[in-house]
Amino acid sequence: MGLPQVAIVGRPNVGKSSIFNWLAGRRLAIVDDMAGVTRDRMVSEIDGFDIPFELIDTGGYGIVDKDDLTADIVAQIDVALHEADVILFVVDARAGVAPLDEEVAQRLRGVNKPVICLANKADTPKLQNHAHEFAALGWGNPLPVSAHQNLGRAELEETLVPHLEACTAGETEDAAAEPEMKIAIVGRRNTGKSTFVNSLVQAERMITSEVPGTTRDSVDIRFELDGKPFLAIDTPGFRRQKSFADDVEYYGLHRAQRSIRRADVCLIFFDAAEEISKVDKQIVDYVETQFKPCLFVVNKWDLLADKARTGEWAEYLHDTFRSMLHVPIAFITGKTGRNIKTLLNHAQMLFRQSRQRLPTAEVNRLIQMALDQNPPPLHYHRRAKVYYAVQSSIQPPTIVLFCNMPDAFTKPYQRYLVNYLRDWTPYPEVPIRLLIRKRESSSQETRVNTR
């Protein structure tokens, strides 16, 4: 979206993802001793320097992927090099110059972009002195840094900023506008999430294959639709925790959960040709506990279009997720892009609903109507008194009810109130958080009638 791009490249296990997390100030990329963890390009906006930029993490150059995805990983690296304005070439100060370092250096000589060589893991003065041997690669003495020890950041900024200034000459601040809406794309493995992302951005942005678990990290992808900016978050496929093969899958799960928490809208993917599984139910439960607006997305519908009706699948979803009857359902074919624009338009509508705010008078009027139609149950032979209600926040819309006996408002009755509000408020398809607070009666307060 107009920000200069800085790509991190290097052979496997030199600490590229550690550098990425260090500069981002957050643990975004999975860091593990196992080579080849990073496959897709990861992007994060960095605003801690004098000039903001997008930082791109890439897979290890020269890795032999166990799932035969080496060519795809290299293609992702090549795209990053093509799009980058500046390249951070990361080497390992502890290991010294390796043959693969020389191969990467040879590849970078043909890119014709500014290259800054970083000697990572230079945790001691001795290692910092040894880092000079990397000057033979062709970019002068490298900058000794240590992502683990937080060493060398100021020197890196001093070297990098002049290149960023050259990239942003003549640019306006509007180019760095924040995305309007963050969309998390979640689901179990092999439901077509990455294929959907590629259709969404009209580019081979994510590696796709029939191998389960191809995507390992949560990956941010910025794109535009009809002139509006979006941030799509592709996430690793969920699976049962007892089936985890290694720590990478464990960290991937937590990255996916974090992506749900920071999203504005979640797209929950189902495979049209597969039954709803226990993992699907766990995903929906997690999204529900986070009060996130969501759409149920039945993908690969082309496989069933002539064999089943959309109404049958919709009924199947509603029967399975009885507490999510308000959630819209979309039927798409991610591979061809069918119905994707309609899906995005509906996601925007959910986003707008989640940001609606009702005046306090209107909230109290609706609560009064709900109480008149169905009063709360007696609690120890007493009827609860509601003093007033207010919408305290948005995203999600949060209604706070002040009463004398919070325990009188049982879970079934709270569900009744939420469903009633959903029928009469401008946010019928998004979660509504209802909070019951105890407050003593006061002669100055106007009590909502519960009789």
Any domain includes 244: yes
Q: What average pLDDT does range 55-78 have in this prediction?
A: 70
pLDDT at 15: 87
Considering 332, 354, 376, which residue would you say is the last residue of a domain?
354
Range of the structural domain that residue 383 is part of: 360-438
Query: What is the domain count for the chain?
Result: 3
CB of 85 within 8 A of CB of 5?
yes
Q: Verify that 228 and 169 share a domain, yes or no.
A: no
Confidence of residue 243 (pLDDT cuts 50, 70, 90): very low
Query: Do 127 and 259 belong together in one domain?
Result: no
pLDDT number for residue 172: 46
Residue 276: the pLDDT is 93
Q: Tell me, yes or no, whether 92 and 216 share the same domain.
A: no
CATH of the domain at 228: 3.40.50.300
What pLDDT score was predicted for residue 42?
A: 75
Q: Give yes or no: residues 192 and 135 share one domain.
A: no
Do both 256 and 345 map to the same domain?
A: yes
Among 42-56, 143-157, 257-271, 286-300, the minimum mean pLDDT is found in 42-56
Q: Assess whether pLDDT exceeds 50 at residue 178.
A: no
* Residue 451 pLDDT > 60: no
Task: Say whether both 72 and 159 belong to one domain.
Answer: yes
Whether residues 329 and 225 share a domain: the answer is yes
Instruction: Check residue 434 and give its pLDDT.
Output: 94
Average pLDDT of span 420-442: 88
Say yes or no: 161 and 188 in one domain: no
Counting residues of the chain whose pLDDT is more than 70, the rounded percentage is 80
Mean pLDDT of 42-54: 79
- For residues 196 and 319, membership in a common domain is answered with yes
Of 61-65, 104-108, 121-125, the range with the lowest mean pLDDT is 61-65
* Residue that finishes a domain, picked among 298, 319, 354: 354
Predicted confidence at residue 432, as pLDDT, reads: 96
Predicted pLDDT of residue 275: 93
Residue-level pLDDT at 345? 92
Alpha carbon separation from 150 to 56, 88, 159, 230 (Å, rounded): 19, 17, 17, 32
Q: What is the mean pLDDT of residues 282-294?
A: 93
Does 254 have pLDDT greater than 80? no
pLDDT band at 445 (very low <50, low <70, confident <90, very high): very low
Residue 39 is predicted with a pLDDT of 52
**Which CATH number is 378's domain given?**
3.30.300.20
Tell whether the model's pLDDT for residue 16 goes beyond 80: yes
Using pLDDT thresholds of 50, 70 and 90, give the confidence band for residue 257. confident
The answer to which of 37-51, 96-110, 111-125, 266-280 has the lowest mean pLDDT is: 37-51
> What is the mean pLDDT of the segment spanning 185-202?
84
Are 380 and 411 members of one domain?
Answer: yes
pLDDT at 34: 47
**403 domain-assigned:** yes
Q: Does 443 map to a domain?
A: no
pLDDT (0 to 100) of residue 213: 42
Higher pLDDT, residue 227 or 430: 430
Residue 303 lies in a domain: yes
Q: What is the mean pLDDT of the chain?
A: 81
pLDDT (0 to 100) of residue 248: 46
- Does any domain span residue 450? no
Q: Is residue 59 part of a domain?
A: yes
pLDDT value for 112 = 81
| Residues 216 and 196 grouped into a single domain | yes
User: Does residue 395 belong to any structural domain of this protein?
Assistant: yes
For residue range 320-356, what is the model confidence (pLDDT) as tens digits? 999 999 999 999 998 888 899 999 999 999 999 999 9
pLDDT, average across residues 248-262: 70
Looking at per-residue pLDDT, the higher value among 217 and 386 belongs to 386
Clarify whether residues 70 and 202 are in a common domain: no
Mean of pLDDT values over 228-251: 63
The answer as to whether 444 is a domain residue is no
Last residue of a domain, one of 354, 386, 404: 354
Q: How confident is the model at residue 233 (pLDDT cuts 50, 70, 90)?
A: confident
